[in-house]
């Protein structure tokens, strides 16, 4: 259940007249550019050289479907075309989205007065570095490629390794060894014809060519990416390497609208081939290569270190100091952030609840029915067709992007029929299906933790739960002074969990009864949908908290250097001491499955939902 920030959030005061004028000017420029290119469809005329960005409106991840290459390309073009939509229209559509109170996010733990600021005005204002299980923070600081120990002297065996490395890095080339003037040369040349194509396919399969026994089977590397989510990045790398995405492994997914640095492992792909991608890919850099004998596993990390800039802040120095001291000393409520619940008028937790209720007609209806709010045009037409005909074939024809959840479900209904919704739903990738029920768990947890804080405040009380190792135990009356609020955990509903022995334990039962669910029987007849319970800390206290306030004039200039900036020797811009704007630069580390937006929410005391923030700010800088 590793989750880190996914969506962009703007926390800003209401726009001035100048802001409105600037937004109008941007729109006029876009209209003018479209008329010049003759692109009436509104699709981007820019050449796409790698995997396009997903729209921030999407609430699920898509999988690449094998053997449908032309369909993938069409899907990518359509998805990319809506990326830079009219911000005013987007704000209007998001009036139907969720607010924090809709998903149980209602409380704060600090006492300072809130102030405003802009989060992710530029994606480079939000930087995430992964913290490995050994406590080491991942950084991109080395582009060099490791050399195998055996390639030292000239022997036939050593030359064979070089031949293999060239063919692996450049699959279209053949190599041979020639004697010239008493010296041996390895000659590389282009092959031709169908035999060459077959060799290319063989060379690009990591299991088909020789791999030195002394080298670990997995190449680990640091992936630096900008404005892409982790699965997008893996799909791009797999396409360029001509391999399947499932040979890559990683410890956690990272934000899209951000700069992120994380470790990736890939099976039997050489560091040379990976390093070559740095020359042809935008938005990514790969480095810090090493060979190891193991892949990476989801959740095998200590957390993430965040470097965040909040621009155009309005708080006084005193308010900022009080807010940041509170964040460091007390922390923030460990709510599941808004990205957990989707951005449309049909929250993901509602679909999860219907799955747990075994109400499959409701599941189908919630996914496919028309809905107000942020939707791409082809999805609107698909939903309208479905509402009118309930014909999956007719609805699918309206949907050029087949990889979305709606397209996958419709194809499932075509394959298995309308009377077998369970099998049809099963066509959707497992992680996407489980996302719905995890969203429901998160919804319950948010509501319950708000009730817990409202009822008992920021202190441990008898009947609360705490963890001893991996086991949850109740805090007894005579033992309560030995615990603080930072020791208290709350359960995610599921089987094999216990609940608090006070009012909140009863509140869990009441909430699930109202949702027609039995808290004592969370096992589903379909094993995948049986909710295993877990425990989650109420309050998270960030580590390594640092901050400073800086002045600046131009909102487009960076306010700190990234790993790539340092590698390329780019200096930090000189900032004015009396600039027009002020920014708060924050750094902090969080454990897995916690949300940086919830920490920032505590500092600013503002609603982080897209619905709320898009009403305040419609200018998005890339």
In 533-580, DSSP assigns E strands to 534-537, 539-540, 543-552
H or E element in which residue 8 lies: none
The one catalytic residue in 82, 229, 255, 464 is: 255
* C-beta of residue 490 within 8 angstroms of C-beta of residue 535: yes
Per-residue buried b or exposed e for 439-471, using 16+ beta carbons within 10 Å of the residue's own CB: bbbbbbbbbbbbbbbeebebebbebbbbeeeee
For residue 167, give both structure tokens.
């063919």
* C-beta of residue 57 within 8 angstroms of C-beta of residue 374: yes
The reply to whether 255 belongs to the active site is: yes
Distance separating alpha carbons of residues 547 and 552, to the nearest angstrom: 16
Indicate the SS3 state at residue 465.
strand
Residue 121 CB burial class (10 angstroms; 0-12, 13-18, ≥19): buried
Distance separating alpha carbons of residues 255 and 221, to the nearest angstrom: 18
Helical segments of 262-359, H only: 271-276, 317-329, 348-356
Q: Compute CA distances 522 → 440, 489, 519, 529, 544, whole Å.
A: 13, 20, 6, 9, 39
| Torsion angle defined by CA atoms of residues 272, 565, 5 and 119, in that order, rounded to the nearest 10 degrees | -160
Indicate the SS3 state at residue 188.
strand
Distance separating alpha carbons of residues 413 and 13, to the nearest angstrom: 47
What is the residue-wise DSSP string for 197-266? HHHHHHHHSTTTS---TTS-SEEEEEEEEES--HHHHHHHHHHHHTS-GGGEEES----SSSEEEEEEEE
Q: Which residue from 479, 518, 476, 522 is spatially nearest to 497, judged by alpha carbons?
A: 522
Distance separating alpha carbons of residues 622 and 606, to the nearest angstrom: 23
Distance separating alpha carbons of residues 285 and 195, to the nearest angstrom: 33
CA 197 to chain centre: 36
CB atoms within 10 A of CB 388: 11
Distance separating alpha carbons of residues 181 and 357, to the nearest angstrom: 80
Half-sphere exposure of 483 (CA within 13 A, CB side): 24
Q: Compute CA distances 186 → 154, 182, 192, whole Å.
A: 11, 13, 19
What is the residue-wise DSSP string for 392-455? HHHHHHT-S-TTSHHHHHHHHHHHH-TT-HHHHHTTS-HHHHHHHHHHHHHHHHHHHHHHHHHH
Using CA of residue 284, residue 285, residue 291, residue 297, what is the dihedral sign? negative
Residues known to be catalytic: 255
């Amino acid at each position: 259940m590793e989750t880190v920030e996914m969506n962009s959030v703007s926390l800003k005061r209401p726009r001035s007249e100048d802001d409105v004028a600037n937004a109008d000017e941007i729109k006029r420029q876009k209209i003018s550019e479209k008329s010049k290119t003759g692109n009436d469809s509104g699709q981007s005329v820019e050449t796409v050289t790698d995997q396009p960005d997903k729209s921030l409106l999407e609430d699920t991840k898509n999988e690449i479907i094998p053997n449908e290459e032309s369909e993938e390309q069409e899907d990518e073009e359509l998805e990319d075309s809506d990326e830079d939509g009219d911000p005013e229209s987007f704000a209007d559509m998001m009036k139907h989205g969720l607010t924090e109170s809709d998903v149980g996010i209602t409380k704060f733990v600090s006492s300072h007065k809130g102030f405003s600021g802009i989060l992710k005005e530029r994606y480079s204002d939000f930087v995430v570095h992964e913290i490995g299980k050994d406590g080491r923070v991942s950084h991109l600081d080395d582009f060099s490629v490791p050399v195998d120990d055996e390639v030292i002297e000239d022997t036939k065996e050593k030359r064979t390794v070089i031949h293999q490395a060239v063919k692996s890095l450049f699959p279209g080339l053949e190599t041979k060894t020639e004697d010239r003037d008493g010296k041996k040369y390895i000659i590389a040349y282009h092959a031709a014809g169908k035999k060459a194509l077959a060799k290319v396919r063989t060379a690009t399969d990591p299991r088909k060519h020789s791999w030195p026994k002394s080298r670990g089977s997995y190449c680990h590397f640091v992936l630096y990416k900008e404005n892409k989510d982790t699965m997008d990045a893996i799909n791009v790398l797999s396409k360029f390497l001509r391999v399947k995405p499932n040979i890559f492994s990683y410890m956690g997914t990272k934000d899209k609208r951000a700069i992120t640095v994380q470790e990736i492992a890939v099976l039997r792909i050489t560091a040379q081939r990976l390093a070559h991608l740095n020359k042809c890919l935008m938005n990514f850099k790969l480095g810090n290569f090493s060979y190891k004998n193991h892949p990476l596993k989801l959740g095998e990390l200590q957390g993430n270190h965040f470097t965040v800039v909040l621009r155009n802040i309005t708080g006084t120095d005193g308010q900022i100091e009080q807010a940041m001291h509170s964040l460091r000393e007390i922390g923030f409520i460990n709510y599941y952030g808004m990205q957990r619940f989707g951005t449309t008028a049909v929250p993901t937790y509602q679909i999860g609840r219907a799955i747990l209720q075994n109400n499959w007609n409701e599941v189908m209806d919630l996914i496919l029915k028309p809905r107000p709010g942020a939707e791409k045009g082809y999805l609107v037409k698909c939903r309208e067709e479905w509402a009118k005909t309930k014909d999956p074939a007719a609805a699918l024809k309206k949907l050029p992007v087949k990889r979305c959840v709606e397209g996958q479900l419709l194809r499932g209904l075509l394959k298995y029929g309308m009377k077998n919704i369970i099998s049809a739903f099963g066509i959707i990738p497992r992680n996407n299906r489980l996302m719905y029920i995890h969203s429901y768990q998160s919804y319950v947890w948010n509501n319950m933790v708000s009730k817990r804080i409202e009822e008992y405040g920021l202190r441990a009380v008898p009947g609360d739960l705490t963890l001893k190792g991996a086991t949850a135990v109740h805090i007894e009356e005579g033992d309560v002074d030995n615990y603080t609020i930072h020791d208290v955990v709350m359960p995610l509903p599921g089987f094999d969990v216990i609940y608090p022995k006070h009012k909140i334990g009863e509140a869990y039962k009441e909430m699930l009864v109202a949702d027609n669910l039995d808290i004592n029987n969370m096992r589903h007849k379909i094993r995948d949908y049986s909710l295993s319970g877990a425990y989650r800390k109420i309050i998270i206290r960030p580590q390594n908290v640092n901050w400073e306030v800086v002045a600046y004039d131009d909102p487009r200039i960076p306010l700190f250097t990234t790993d790539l900036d340092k590698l390329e020797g780019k200096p930090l811009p000189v900032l004015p001491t009396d600039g027009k704007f002020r920014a708060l630069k924050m750094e902090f580390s969080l454990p897995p499955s916690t949300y940086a937006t919830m920490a920032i929410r505590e500092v600013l005391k503002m609603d982080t939902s897209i619905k709320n923030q898009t009403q305040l700010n419609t200018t998005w800088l890339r």
